């Protein structure tokens, strides 16, 4: 699709409520950049595939990458995300029959995304769990008694030891990886479906010291929670609306999928000119502390949270952020096919004082891309978004502003 064809597609787009696209222009770095406003995708997560329901900080809704994948690619094209997170872009691409490539400097990313390309039956998961000896008595280091009952902690330790041993022996298979992914997602949360006592939502693990205070404030103590039925319930929930055809497409994409754990500026494993579409959302300065939020998940998976945090550290200053993202765009230009696209989702940070799209446009153009415009998704934000200070697109950390770039033939 050419830039003119995409503009025509966007201008003729009507969302389910019958609204039409509004066109404006914004002056950025001496250029008049088209700004398209519409409800291009819904904010309602539950309308997407249940397979996406893996918690992760600052992830976008599946409908966002689906919009661009359907418009700008065909089955068999390669779709890439250099900041893959929980794998939203990748899963959507696989569901739609596209090939996938992923990168994220956070090693948890591949652990959370790769297993969902090989969807098991709940019976197979149950049989594997039944074969794992969940002996009691194990104790964690560091102390996790403020999160778990002693029997629950013992089961978690036994499962962790089994999974890490299987990985070290090179014997872990798709079932082990699925169980590991689900268990990682069940470690802590604020409902009975999680292994822990009541705490923050599962995409953000508090410190042990903070959890002790929560327990005191709520006058709660950890009660015994069996981990096997909770893993099985979450497994069944993840696959509840996935069709056999989608499972087959995911498996086909998964066999050749590329999962990298690198700096997004250096991805030599991805061939030059091979990617038809990149859909991504980079870290917004230092708004989210991924390493601190994931310390417990890192522990469960035998990952050094400190080492991961050092790799994930994002610049606090806008100048440093621009320098890093400029290099990312140079790499994206190398691997993008002629006629290929980059959809780069950014937002407003520092309480709306910094609009990152205004800084992204010149970075992409300098790398060689043509800027086709900015898409502003207009919607009522959810309760979770409001927690982050978002008020109907006026400011916050995620206003769904997507800067769209094209690599000309």
| CATH label of the domain that carries residue 269 | 3.40.50.150
Same domain, 182 and 68: no
Q: Is residue 58, in this structure, part of any structural domain at all?
A: yes
Same domain, 95 and 173: no
As for how many domains the chain has, the answer is 2
**What mean pLDDT is predicted for residues 93-100?**
97
Same domain, 264 and 384: yes
Domain hosting residue 159, numbered range: 122-238
Q: Binning pLDDT at 50, 70 and 90, where does residue 392 land?
A: very low
Same domain, 137 and 105: no
Same domain, 381 and 258: yes
Q: Is the pLDDT confidence value at 384 over 80?
A: no
Helix (H) or strand (E) holding 23: strand 22-28
Q: Is residue 203, in this structure, part of any structural domain at all?
A: yes
Predicted local confidence at residue 408, as pLDDT: 92
Output the pTM of the full model. Answer: 0.89
Q: Binning pLDDT at 50, 70 and 90, where does residue 383 land?
A: very low
CA dist 182 → 51, 76, 188, 234, 347 (Å): 11, 29, 12, 7, 30
Higher pLDDT, 227 or 44: 227
| 327-356 core/surface letters (b: 16 or more CB in 10 A; e: else) | bbbebbbbbbbeebbbbbbbbbbeebebbb
Predicted local confidence at residue 23, as pLDDT: 87
Q: What is the mean pLDDT of the chain?
A: 87
What stretches of 271-391 adopt beta strand conformation (E)? 275-280, 336-346, 348-349, 354-355, 370-377
Same domain, 272 and 222: no
Reference 303, options 144, 160, 143; nearest CA is: 160
Q: Is the pLDDT confidence value at 114 over 60?
A: yes
Residue 56 contacts residue 111 (beta carbons within 8 Å):
no
Q: Is residue 97, in this structure, part of any structural domain at all?
A: yes
Q: Write the pLDDT tens digit of every residue in 305-360.
A: 676 665 655 666 888 888 999 999 999 999 999 999 999 998 665 455 667 888 89
- Our measurement of the distance from residue 51's CA atom to the centroid of its chain's CA atoms, rounded to an integer in Å, reads 12
Tell me the two tokens of residue 406.
């094209």
Predicted local confidence at residue 315, as pLDDT: 63
Q: Is the pLDDT confidence value at 1 over 90?
A: no
């Amino acid at each position: 699709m050419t830039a003119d064809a995409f503009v025509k597609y966007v201008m003729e787009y009507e969302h389910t409520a019958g609204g039409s696209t509004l066109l404006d222009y914004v002056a950025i770095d001496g250029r008049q950049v088209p700004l398209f406003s519409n409800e291009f995708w819904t904010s309602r997560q539950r309308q997407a595939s249940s397979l996406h329901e893996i918690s992760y900080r600052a992830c976008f809704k599946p409908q966002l990458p689906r919009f661009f994948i359907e418009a700008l690619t065909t089955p068999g094209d390669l779709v890439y995300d250099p900041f893959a997170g929980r794998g939203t872009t990748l899963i959507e691409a696989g569901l739609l029959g596209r090939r996938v490539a992923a990168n994220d400097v956070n090693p948890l990313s591949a652990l959370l995304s790769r297993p969902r390309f090989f969807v098991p039956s709940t019976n197979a998961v149950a049989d594997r769990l039944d074969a794992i000896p969940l002996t009691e008595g194990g104790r964690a280091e560091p102390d996790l008694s403020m999160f778990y009952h002693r029997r629950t902690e013992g089961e978690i330790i036994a499962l962790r030891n089994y999974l890490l041993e299987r990985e070290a022996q090179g014997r872990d298979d798709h079932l082990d990886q699925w169980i590991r992914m689900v268990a990682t997602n069940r470690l802590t949360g604020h409902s009975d479906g999680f292994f822990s006592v009541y705490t923050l939502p599962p995409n953000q693990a508090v410190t042990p010291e903070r959890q002790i205070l929560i327990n005191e404030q709520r006058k709660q103590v950890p009660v015994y929670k069996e981990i096997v039925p909770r893993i099985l319930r979450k497994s069944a929930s993840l696959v509840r609306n996935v069709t056999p055809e989608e499972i087959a497409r995911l498996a086909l994409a998964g066999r050749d999928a590329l999962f990298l754990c690198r700096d997004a500026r250096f991805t030599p494993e991805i061939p030059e000119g091979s990617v038809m579409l990149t859909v991504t959302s980079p870290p917004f300065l230092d708004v989210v502390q991924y390493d601190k939020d994931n310390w417990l998940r890192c522990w469960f998976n035998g990952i050094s949270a400190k080492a991961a945090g050092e790799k994930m550290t994002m610049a606090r200053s806008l100048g440093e952020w621009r320098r890093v993202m400029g290099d990312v765009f140079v790499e994206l230009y190398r691997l993008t096919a002629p006629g290929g696209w980059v959809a780069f989702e950014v937002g407003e940070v520092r309480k709306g004082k910094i609009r990152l799209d205004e800084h992204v446009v010149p970075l992409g153009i300098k790398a060689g891309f043509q800027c086709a415009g900015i898409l502003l998704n207009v919607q009522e934000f959810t309760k979770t978004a409001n927690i982050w200070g978002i008020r109907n697109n006026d400011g916050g950390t995620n206003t769904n502003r997507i800067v769209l770039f094209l690599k000309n033939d």
